[in-house]
Homo-oligomer: A and B are copies of this chain.
Amino acid sequence: MNFDFDWSSLLSSALTISGRILLLIILFLIIKPIGKKLITGLMNQVASKQKLSEGRKKTLSNLLLNVYSYVLIFLFVAMLLPIFNIPIAPLLAGAGIIGLAIGFGAQGLVSDIVTGFFILIEKQIDVDDYVTAGGENGIVEELGLRTTQIRSFDGTLNYIPNRYIQNVNNHTRGNMRALVDFGIAYEENIDHVTQVIQKVCDEMSENPLIKEGPDVVGVQSLDDSQVTLRVIAQTEKNEQFGIERELRKRIKEALDENNIEIPYPHQVNVPKS
């Protein structure tokens, strides 16, 4: 390739070896401090937020800075050598092996962030929601791109990397159902019991936490020793447990008052003939 000599001197020298080396050095002199500042800044921010001890902060940011330096040196050498016509394919192949391991090992991190991004943007979860996600059940304390923190009702704080969140079950998006099953003896009259319990339900229905019902929906099953009836109500969110406890107490007392038997397990004893 013969290029005309009337080009600007800058471009011309850029094609000489010395010019290319110079350009490369300048490039790395620009990039190095930028990256260093970025890492230190990020670490300081995280450290102050998480109240990391000075020691751990130093260890972790040194780790990052070391890795950063090694990567830069490798890149510089690998970009310099071909200028001297020294082949770097074997070098790249070697780096590729490490890269493969890193790429696979780090995919979890990307997965966390992608999942986290969509949880945030689709507003699947808000702080203070009562949710079941990633196998944990409780109140959301913090939402992050990488990790979601859920406080279980027993006080445990659960850190869930977002990639382990598959379905999100949000229990605070609308009214919740209170459901109470109770058994009566096979000897009882179903219609009579339904009337008695429906009266209890009607009294309960004035509770402002209850949005709909409660109602006796019917015979849920014919069990071994009892006929099981079901009562259902719609309550304000997070109030379903309290309403269920109240319902259970009132149903039990109403059955007692009306001498309706709540049966124990039964067994017919057959004498050996």
Contact = CB atoms under 8 A, between A and B. Distances in A.
Interface string A76-109: 0111001111111111111111111111111111
Q: What is the interface residue range for chain A against chain B? A: 35 or more
Contacts of A91: 75, 79, 90
Contacts of A41: none
Contacts of A103: 96-101, 104
A17 B84 CA distance: 10
A118 B147 contact: yes
Interface string A248-273: 11011100000000111111111110
For this chain, the copies found in one complex come to 7
Contacts of A113: 105
B167 A158 contact: yes
Given A24-B86, A91-B79, A253 B104 contact: no
Contacts of A145: 63
B75 A83 contact: no
Contact of A177 (B98, B155, B179, B268): B155
Contacts of A20: 84-86
Interface in A143-187: 145-147, 151-161, 164, 166-171, 173-177, 179, 182-183, 186
B50 A122 contact: yes
A69 interface: no
Contacts of A102: 97, 101, 110
A147 B168 CA distance: 11
Contacts of A270: 264, 266-269, 272
A237 B155 contact: yes
A104 B100 contact: yes
A102 to B, nearest CB: 5
6 contacts: A15-B85, A60-B121, A190-B253, A219-B252, A267-B268, A269-B271
Interface of A: 1-3, 7-8, 11, 14-20, 23-24, 27, 46, 50-52, 56, 60, 63, 71, 74-75, 77-79, 82-115, 117-118, 120-124, 132, 134-136, 145-147, 151-161, 164, 166-171, 173-177, 179, 182-183, 186, 190, 217-222, 224-225, 227, 234, 237, 240, 242, 245-246, 248-249, 251-253, 262-272
